Amino acid sequence: MMKGISVLTVNQLLLQNERFIGDYNVEIARWSNGKWSSTIPTLYAILTDHRLILQPHARKLYEPAIIPAHYILHIVPLRTPTRFGVVLTLKTEQRVALLIPTHQKDEIIRNLRTIALPGLKENPRQLQIQCDMQNVRKMINYFAHW
């Protein structure tokens, strides 16, 4: 982690009975002027068996945006001439586009699809996690000003 950057750690974010799957550095992708562009700062994304947790690499500590796995309806690869990413479609009909470092692209797509599978959603040990769209909107608004 970079000096002076504040993010909550995996241990601080995991709930009881939640399993850590992976962590990634991603960027929000915005469609503008006919092309995809990335936002700054990057996001620290933590994927668990129940949630996708997004928090900016910033000097100030921000409340993470949490997307429960059962809110992810579709996962579609996103390709630009120079970058790779993914577009998540949520139950709320919002789409979140993320650019992913090339060396992590296969792993994150596979892991996102694994947690979003319908069979996994009916897991008896599924945690009851609600999607707090207020924090997701805060994250979107945060990047809208960059």
Task: Supply φ then ψ for residue 103, to 5 degrees.
Answer: -70, -15
Question: What is the residue-level pLDDT of the chain in tens, covering all 146 positions?
Answer: 445 556 778 888 888 889 999 999 999 998 888 888 888 788 889 999 999 999 887 777 778 889 999 889 999 998 888 889 999 998 888 899 999 987 888 888 899 988 887 544 444 445 555 556 666 666 666 555 54
| CA proximity to 50, closest of 100, 120, 97 | 120
Other beta carbons within 10 Å of 58:
17
- What pTM did the predictor assign? 0.75
3-state DSSP assignment of residue 79: strand
In this structure, are residues 51 and 38 in contact, taking their beta carbons and an 8 Å threshold? no
- The answer for residues whose C-beta is within 8 angstroms of residue 33's C-beta and 6 or more apart is none
- Give one word for 15, left, alpha or beta, with left for phi > 0 and alpha for psi -120 to 50: beta
Q: Give dist(CA 40, CA 49) in Å, integer.
A: 27
Q: Which residue's entry shows tokens 């919002």?
A: 94
